[in-house]
A and B are shown apart, each in its own frame.
Chain A
Amino acid sequence: MKARRIDLSDACGVDDAMRRIAIVRFAEVLTLVPALRHGRSRDLHDLRIACKRLRYALESFTPREPALLEAASRLSQLQDALGDLHDRDLLLLAMPKKLHVSAQRVRMQRDDALARARALWRDAFAPYGPFEGLMRFTGLGYGFGDGVAGS
């Protein structure tokens, strides 16, 4: 998914610019999060990239807005889990059919990574959880986190 262009032309100061960027990047993540439920590789890959964009932005903002640090850290964990999953997907595509026992193990590792990502996402929205500061900063994300079942 291509990242949305962010309009900063009429932003009122640095805090407003940071907020606009965080809102757009967080909205991109929230739009893609149904991938955690259905587990399709392509969509999970897009979600991972969106998490990365948001995380990097938040890490740049934390010197001015330390409340975003926990969200950045949770996004990093989420990105790791989704990265492990993506690596297994790539490997499964490259593995010849005769490696079927090993492929089965790789599929189990993929499932573990997906379960880990789901748990990290759900837990991020707990009261006073890692996304609390991000939700307050952007005004987004309320009501999310419950919808990721299937783990």
Chain B
Amino acid sequence: MPDDRIAEWALGLVKADVHAFKRARARFLRQPSAKRLHDLRTTARRLRLLHEDLREAVPPFSLKRLRRLIDLTGEARDAAVMREALREALDVRERRAARGLLHALRQRERIALNRIARALESVRFSHP
């Protein structure tokens, strides 16, 4: 087990990231938007990666639901970004042929956003 100074420092970092995640979650639940989804995803990933770095120095807590949330935000984000990139690169002669893919991406994003809202309800931190 690392010494007390390290444990105190590590706990401070994790607490700050938990706080940032909770703020992003509240903002997203209040009014979802692409920017707020990005912030939610970023704060969740940052917390997960920080925990991996410092897991020996902080009290154990489960990241299972946080991981699920990160996957879901990734699905929504990938679909939105792919749709935007396709629109940007789309040749005018292929517009009709791209309709199916654009529609499928929009659907994927919508489904993921609905799942995110449900998953957010279940992400709780008893620690740290």
Interface residues of A (CB under 8 A from B): 3, 5-9, 11-14, 17, 21, 25, 52-53, 56-57, 60, 87-88, 90-91, 94-96, 98-99, 101-102, 105-106, 109
Contact = CB atoms under 8 A, between A and B. Distances in A.
Interface residues of B, number: 33
Contacts of A12: 3
A9 B89 contact: no
Nearest to B42: A56
Given A8-B57, A9-B2, A60-B50, A52 B45 contact: yes
Nearest to A83: B81
B86 A95 contact: yes
B43 to A, nearest CB: 11
A17 B57 contact: yes
Interface stretch (B23-31, B64-72, B94-102): B94-102
B38 to A, nearest CB: 12
Contact of B9 (A3, A5, A14): A14
